Amino acid sequence: MEKITLLVNAPKNFASNILRLKLDNLVASDQTDVLLISYHNKIKNTADFPVFSIEEDEDPSFSQLLSSISTDKFMFFNPEIDYPANFFSQILSTDEKKPERENGSLWTESLIAVQQSHYGLCGFQAKTSNEDNFLKESALFEKKEVETLNTDKLSVHPESSIELYRYAVKKKLNLVEYSSRKVKVEYLTNFTELMYACQKQAQKEFKLFPALFVLFFLFFGVGAAFNPALFLIFLLGMSAYLLAITLEAFGLSTIKKNGAILIVLLFLFPFVHLVYGLESLMAKFKKKA
């Protein structure tokens, strides 16, 4: 099993023996390297662990911290948190069993990307329970994926763990989180099955955005052929919509396939929105009838 690096924000009265004991209790000593982050000379040197030292007048970027990490994967580790006994065994076994979908076809990757996006509406991701939220700052990251972000603009500070987590979630990075109940994330990779699932979901859960998208598309799209004012409104509305899905598609495709799935997503998003919107509107009318 390959090692991971634990980034530890060193407290003022840091004791290396306590950290060692904690890692031993979590059965993690042989699987982890430790990199201490020392702020304002709290820790100058330690024979036990390497130190990434930040002086009082320095503001290092996260890129500089990444260059000090020798392993392919890393996480923030807070010695003051009482981690579950199975924390490392669960999170590392989850990492080992990561789906091979990264090597899938462009079409498969596009269908998965739609399900990962809030814009896709048909999300089938497993969600961790709220009781595990305090462990989010200790998510496991892949160094090469974090390097695709603009980490030069992220500075290293005591709250970097939360900032990086939120940034990574926003950019749809693959990361591994601890969950008290291990749930395998399943994605639909057949287009027909995905559309059927969207229809079923739309019948049960009405969402305003796709319904408004369909009504806007039909009303102003037809009206644009007869009225210049309606044509202008339709043009502005669709331009704003296309800009929104282009930005989302660009973000997803940059992380996953270096832009290769961008065009596919630009066709998939409107199609999913039309299917969901039409189905949810029809379900509404049936209930009122």
pLDDT digits (tens, 9 = 90+) for 164-218: 988 888 887 878 888 765 555 678 888 998 898 888 888 888 888 899 999 998 9
**pLDDT at 15 > cutoff 80:** no
For residues 121-141, give the mean pLDDT.
Answer: 67
Angle among Cα 244, 245, 246 to the nearest 5 degrees reads 90
On average, the pLDDT of the chain sits at 82
**Can you give the pLDDT at residue 57?**
80
Other beta carbons less than 10 A from residue 252's beta carbon: 25
For residues 244-272, give the mean pLDDT.
Answer: 83
7, 77 Cβ separation under 8 angstroms: yes
**Can you give the pLDDT at residue 140?**
93
Please state which of the ranges 41-45, 141-145, 168-172, 253-257 shows the lowest mean pLDDT.
41-45
* Higher per-residue confidence, 287 vs 125: 287
**Can you give the pLDDT at residue 85?**
86
Question: For residue range 82-128, what is the model confidence (pLDDT) as tens digits?
Answer: 888 888 888 887 544 444 444 568 888 888 888 888 777 776 544 44
Q: Is 2 exposed, middle or buried (0-12, 13-18, 19+ CB in 10 A)?
A: exposed
**Can you give the pLDDT at residue 84?**
87
**Can you give the pLDDT at residue 99?**
43
Question: For residue range 275-284, what is the model confidence (pLDDT) as tens digits?
Answer: 999 999 998 8
**pLDDT at 132 > cutoff 80:** no
195, 275 Cβ separation under 8 angstroms: yes
**Can you give the pLDDT at residue 183?**
52
CA distances from 42 to 49, 52, 53, 56, 157 (A): 14, 11, 9, 10, 14
Identity of residue 189: T
**Can you give the pLDDT at residue 21?**
86
* Higher per-residue confidence, 7 vs 49: 7
104-140: buried (b, 16+ CB within 10 Å) or exposed (e) per residue?
beeebbbbbbbbbbebbbbeeeeeeeeeeeebbbbbb
For residues 7-36, give the mean pLDDT.
Answer: 84
Strand partners, 32: 4
**Can you give the pLDDT at residue 268?**
92
Other beta carbons less than 10 A from residue 181's beta carbon: 9
Round to whole Å and give the CA distance between 190 and 112: 10
* Higher per-residue confidence, 199 vs 259: 199
pTM exceeds 0.85: no
Give the pLDDT band (50/70/90) at residue 289: low
Which of the 8 DSSP states describes residue 75? E
Angle among Cα 23, 29, 31 to the nearest 5 degrees reads 125
